[in-house]
Amino acid sequence: MADTTTLASPRVDDGAPYVGSRFADVVDALAANPYQRVWGAAGEPPLPVHDVSFRTVVGGLFPRQFRADSVRTLDSRIDLRWGADGKGFRRLVHPNGVCLTGRWTIDEETPYTGYFAKGSSALIVGRYSTCCTETTRGQTRSLSLVGKLFPTTDRYHLQPLPTANFFTQEDIGGAKTEFINDAELRNAPDVTLGNRGAAGTPLLITIGLVFRNVDQQGSMRQLYPIAELGKPDGTPTRAPQFMRLLVAPEQPRIPGKELDFRDEVMAQIFDKGDPLPKRTLTFTIELTDDGETGGSASRQRVTCRNWRKVGTLVFDNAVVSHNGDAVIHFSHPTWRTDRNDPATATRINGRKVK
């Protein structure tokens, strides 16, 4: 990742009041320890593939640690989790990813608030990943893009700013999508447990049960954090129900049998062996309130209608790094019975109240 700057800042983990972060600090953290100093250059080591299994996630018959990690993901708003040794914490379900930076822009009229309103423009740090171990084309994998919005367009703003996160993914049970160009990433993905087979299904069932135990909804991530970012006090929240991100049709399709998705993402922006970005990777932002969820827990289907393109995500830099896999943190929004009403939240002040 090129073009970083250093802004001295204390490393703050859980326990301290959340005050936000500086975009440049987060970018510097991501760029500090890439797995390859120059992506794709001769002599660089292969990208690591971190294993995901029932043992690595649950660790035993009773998933106490995974439950504690899930609670922290919901309750902690910090953006960088360094840990006592400064090396962060390995992700349990999405350990393999590539981080990207760029700009979020909403350029169409919407009925929504915050950074879903027309004219909104924010810096973004994204992380494209898979669930679970599988990273290469041809495998059953679930592609995902999460994002962290900074309410500014100044890459070198001095004061820490509170961020807002979103989560999108294709079928949680996995899919055979070969190109990132064809992945439909939604905040409310389908769930097809059978796609994981006998080995992977028990793990996904356990993950779903733990999420429901500590919150309410195991598969859908509401969008109110984006709708409340920068919203004036006293203005009622108006958040969309559904969002999907699609790779823009003009993006090239990167060829390669058994290509790792991280190399596919990097190739959209870089030429192998060249540290300077050459291109951008654009996603369209589409929203709708018209949809419903049906089916069973093992085969859940989310049907959406009347999608409307309202803006774009344009990434102009990326890196595959240890800190991108272990230090950057994306806080999950707790479930609200009414997505626009904070009083209906499942968790309040670190406790499940509903």
DSSP track, 268-283: HH--TT--S----EEE
48-64: pLDDT as tens digits: 999 887 777 777 655 67
Which of the four pLDDT bands, split at 50, 70 and 90, describes residue 3?
A: very low
Average pLDDT over residues 242-262: 97
Average pLDDT over residues 68-77: 88
- Segments making up each domain of the chain, as ranges: 23-333
Residue 5 confidence (pLDDT) above 60: no
Q: Report pLDDT for 4.
A: 40
Distance CA 68, CA 11 (A): 22
Q: Which of 74, 71, 66, 67 is nearest to 90 (CA)?
A: 66
13-40: pLDDT as tens digits: 666 789 999 999 999 999 999 999 999 9
Distance CA 169, CA 183 (A): 9
Average pLDDT over residues 276-301: 95
Q: Report pLDDT for 237.
A: 98
| Structure tokens belonging to residue 95 | 């350990």
Average pLDDT over residues 189-210: 84
The residues pairing with 293 across neighbouring beta strands, listed in sequence order, are: 302
Q: Which of 215, 137, 231, 222 is nearest to 183 (CA)?
A: 137
Residue 83 confidence (pLDDT) above 70: yes
CATH number of 23-333: 2.40.180
Average pLDDT over residues 71-98: 91
Distance CA 122, CA 164 (A): 10
Average pLDDT over residues 271-300: 96
Q: Report pLDDT for 24.
A: 98
For the CA atoms of 118, 119, 122, 124, the dihedral, rounded to the nearest 10 degrees, stands at 50
If you ran DSSP here, which 8-state letter would residue 134 be given?
-
Residue 7 confidence (pLDDT) above 70: no
Distance CA 239, CA 222 (A): 8
Residue 268 confidence (pLDDT) above 50: yes
Q: Which of 247, 274, 304 is nearest to 126 (CA)?
A: 247
Q: Report pLDDT for 132.
A: 83
Q: How far is CA 30 from the centre of its chain?
A: 15
Q: Report pLDDT for 158.
A: 97
Average pLDDT over residues 312-317: 98
Q: Give 268 or 65, the one with higher predicted confidence.
A: 268
The residues pairing with 142 across neighbouring beta strands, listed in sequence order, are: 131
Residue 115 confidence (pLDDT) above 70: yes
Which of the four pLDDT bands, split at 50, 70 and 90, describes residue 9?
A: very low
Residue tagged 């919005």 (tokens): 149
